Structure 1
Amino acid sequence: MQAYVYKSQRKQDTYVYLAVRDDFNAVPDALKASLAPFAFVLEVALTPDRRLALADVAQVRANLTERGFHLQMPPPLVAPVRVPRRDD
């Protein structure tokens, strides 16, 4: 399965994967309005053994098949861990 990956120009580290290149019809209008414009960044073959850095390839494939798109948001921020000092 091929996927076409677009980066949101409005929201940092947010990507939309499409099943069909340049076909944003499957993406809800509200989502397009909040993320557009988009810049094409990558065409990738999503084979079952493919590894993606921030997404589960099986979930991406399922979303592309069912919805025609997959939304990849940036990972959640992790609160800094306070390391107690010896005098605490």
Structure 2
Amino acid sequence: MKQICAVYRSPKKEGMYLYVDHHLDLAEVPEALLLQFGKPERAMTLVLHPERKLARADVVKVMEAIAENGYYLQLPPQPEAPLSPRES
């Protein structure tokens, strides 16, 4: 199964992206989320399929979230915690 999706980047938070169905676009994204996300900036269009690799997300989970919710929100990577003195 393949799915065409539009990917938007957040102008407010580096590394935050919204994946949405290409045909529905942002219609299914809750208004409250869009307020926190900021004005979405179109980054790219992707064809998703189970064998495709994504840099920071599991493609199957992305496809499932789009099918169930109408969107997938990719949060920025969390900074690694510094090692405590005992761990270094």
CA distance in 2, matches of 1:43, 1:25: 16
Q: CA deviation at 1:20?
A: 2.7
Residues 31-46 of structure 1: pairs in structure 2 closer than 5 A: 31-46=33-48
**After superposition, where does 1:43-62 map in structure 2 within 5 Å?**
43-62=45-64
> Following the alignment from structure 1 to structure 2, what is the Cα–Cα distance between the partners of residues 45 and 24?
17
One-letter identity of the residue aligned with 2:26: F
Aligned 8 A contact 2:6 2:25 in 1:
no
CA–CA separation in structure 2 for the residues paired with 1:2 and 1:25:
15
- 1:23 Cα shift? 2.5
Superposed CA deviations along residues 25-76 of structure 1, whole A, max 9, x for unmatched, are 2111111001121110111111110000100000000011111110000111
CA deviation string 1:8-27 (max 9, x = no partner): 11111100001035721211
Question: 1:64: which partner in 2?
Answer: 66
1:13 counterpart SS class = coil
Indicate the SS of the match to 2:83: coil
Give the AA of the match of 1:28: P
Q: Percent sequence identity over matched residues?
A: 33
* Aligned mates of 1:50, 1:26 — CA distance in 2: 24
Does residue 28 (structure 1) correspond to residue 30 (structure 2)? The answer is yes
Cα-Cα RMSD: 1.6
Determine which of 66, 72, 75 is the counterpart of 1:73: 75
